[in-house]
Amino acid sequence: FLNDEFVALRTEINRIAAATNFNGIQLLGDGSDVSLDYSDLQAGGSAEVLSVANGFSNFTITDDNYWARDANENGSADNQLRFDILKTGDRILLSAISEIDGTSPYRTQSIDVTDYASGGSKALNAGQTQTLDFGDVGVKVNLNFNIATTIANALAQGSDGAGADGSTTAQIFGASPVFSVLEDQGNKLPDKIYFQLGGGNTGGAQLSIPTTAVDGAALGTGKTGTETSLDELGSNAIATSAKAQSAIEAVARAIDDLQRARANIGTNQNRLDAASESLASTLENVKEARSSLLDLDVAMELTNYASKQILIKSSVAMLARVSEMRQNLIRLLAG
């Protein structure tokens, strides 16, 4: 029972390390997402038919929890995503089939893609893409305009849509194109996190903070990183007295590793605080300088305004005087 609790708590440590991120940046360890293995696309494997040239731009897992399942506890590498391109009558279907723990089929979903043929109501132009959401299987597929050629070739196969075995559904590409699933292919813990502290593109205007992993694979390895980690204790970490003694040493090293990681964060946090205070002081000085310049501009404008007012009043007075002299001259001439 104690061993079960130990293993469960270690799993929770790994979950927290994998799930702790800010703005997409891992902070404590690698992410625990899963991804598709595209090696078959590049090596001429069964998934090669799902290439860009055949109308398929991208495949994305949308349900990590589903694809990360591992009931037989041998990793998620035996989880596979299979695609069939089928002809049923005069319609072309793209079918996605999930295989979890080697069980086939586990879930399946088909989408009619016939209308993406040239002249169809959903035909794509060059540069356009369309996303098909296979929600039941937990994946999305992006189609490009080349899918029209694939559909045309599929429609040209057979006149009645009968398969070689006499069924009413014919599979277009021989073997089912298959993707394997890679585990732990999420965001990785970066070696350093960079902060821009100044306005320039120089080293002095940037600050880099080294990161330290604190997951089960790192805790317990010691300062040199060569000792047995918590993960390496296995599923029977404290099942026997001898293993429990070894686990005590590993846990002690893990505590030290955690303290070193905390010290690293604390040290760099103090450094950021000092940098923040320096930036605040710089900002205050800039504001004061700007305020002084604005005040100087106001004084200059007031001076110019007063000068123009005097000129205007003087002009008005001179015009009034000239008008008065003209009236006096007229009266003299009239008299």
Residue ranges covered by each domain of the chain: 33-182, 192-288
Q: How far is CA 204 from the centre of its chain?
A: 28
Q: Dihedral of CA 261/262/268/269: which sign? A: positive
Would you give the DSSP letter of residue 124?
P
Which residues sit opposite 302 in a β-bridge?
Answer: none
Q: Dihedral of CA 231/232/234/239: which sign? A: negative
Global pTM exceeds 0.75: no
Please write the tens of the pLDDT for every residue from 257-281.
999 999 999 999 998 899 889 889 9
Q: For position 301, what pLDDT does the model report? A: 81
Which H/E stretch holds residue 299? helix 241-334
Please write the tens of the pLDDT for every residue from 130-176.
999 998 888 889 999 999 998 998 888 754 444 444 444 545 555 55
